[in-house]
Structure 1
Amino acid sequence: MKKIKILAIVGSLRKESYNRQLALAAKEILGEQVEFTVLDYQDVPLMNEDIEFPAPDAVKRVREEVKSADGIWFFTPEYNHFFSGVLKNLIDWLSRPVSDEEPQVLAGKPAAISGISLGISGTSIAQDHLVTLISFLDMKVMNVPRVTIPSAWQYVDEQGKLTLNEIYPHLEKQAEAFVNFIEGK
């Protein structure tokens, strides 16, 4: 039986970002059950129609990774009550048609959303904005359950690593639900 491929898109480029750590915790939870990859997109340029066709190599690469995934799991920070500019830029590239014959690559893809932030909203406002955008792009959004973790400093040890003790069961529940959502259960 073919393993489900989940592509994690983290809305922060910082190497040790809390959302990257959250994505890696989800990967750990899912273990060998699925193929789980965190998308590297730091080389994707700013969206610019002057360079859209042919698309830059970095854009071609991330499009292929999205196309081959069975589901996309977004891990978003919240900046000023919104998701990050780097995530918006990536989605702008992914929302454009690949060519005259090939549509954009997000349509129809199952999507889940999680996030952790220093603020008190726990990324819920950013997640709602993200749902608006990806719904418009015809992604199949799993709205429940979502993980929103406020006040990240409460879950970080002295080395800056997440310790998700009481949050872990919620992430486990979301991971299981997302696999079932992708499988159509």
Structure 2
Amino acid sequence: MGKIKVAVFVGSLRKASINRRLALAVERLAPEGVEFEHIRIDNLPLYNQDFDGDYPAECKRLKHQVEAANALLFVTPEYNRSVPGVLKNALDIGSRPWGTNSFAGKPGAVIGASIGAVGSAMAQQHLRNTLAYLDVSTLAQPEVFVHFKDDTLIDEKGHISNDGTEKFLQDFVDRYVAWVRRHLA
């Protein structure tokens, strides 16, 4: 099998996002032949069915990037026990207009970090429900709920300071890549 191209959706827009750091850590742990593309979601208009007939350029760009990817990675914080609105908006845009769901049939994974002890568990469950409806198969195990109690756990370039966390994330990456390869075979 050739290169695997993974479209990465980080649900936090914050410059110092711990979820962006988590995404970068996962990328650093991936084997050769796995390429990650962060999908920009901060400049998308709010989804409106009125533009289904003539999608705005940024919406078309998102759909093309998703369609060009072999797999998906969603890295989400938890806002009020659910998925951030900006991430849900990106899913709505990518799955519309009706009959043009760009996510359909792609393998994906859902992970997240939080300063709270539950590490984005509720947001991940809500996201998995939406992705199931969008026909995205998500890796069930291992679940990745990173409790980001120490700001130095993962730095802004994705370097992990804790050996246990690195080992855990390496296991996730290895299982995710193997699962994507099986899905694409």
TM-score past 0.5 threshold: yes
1:171 aligned residue: 169
Q: For 1:157, which of 141, 148, 152 is the aligned residue?
A: 152
Partner of 1:183: 181
Q: Which residue of 1 aligns with 2:132?
A: 135
| Displaced runs of 4 or more, over 3 A | 158-164
Percent identity among equivalent residues? Answer: 36
Amino acid at match of 1:178: Y
SS at match of 2:9: strand
Alignment of 1:80-99 (within 5 A): 80-97=80-97
CA–CA distance in 2 between the matches of 1:56 and 1:133? Answer: 23
What amino acid sits opposite 1:59 in the alignment?
Answer: C
Residues 5 and 73 of structure 1: CA distance in aligned 2, closer, same or farther (over 3 Å): same
CA contact (8 A) 2:11 2:74 kept: yes
Q: Select between 116-125 and 32-41 the one with higher mean Cα deviation.
A: 32-41
Match in the other structure for 1:74 = 74
Describe the SS at the equivalent of 1:6.
strand
Provide, for residues 70-103 of structure 1, a one-character-per-residue CA deviation record: whole Å limited to 9, x for no partner.
Answer: 11000000111111010011111112137xxx62
1:16-165 residue pairs with structure 2 within 5 A? 16-30=16-30, 32-97=32-97, 103-150=100-147, 152-154=148-150, 156-157=151-152, 161=156, 163-165=160-162
RMSD of the TM alignment (CA)? 2.0
Task: Give TM-score scaled by structure 2 length.
Answer: 0.89
CA contact (8 A) 1:23 1:38 kept: no
Paired with 1:135 and 1:7, the residues of 2 have a C-alpha distance of 17
* Change over 3 Å in CA distance of 1:114–1:164 after alignment to 2: farther
Structure possessing the higher relative contact order (Cα contacts under 8 Å, 6 or more residues apart): 2
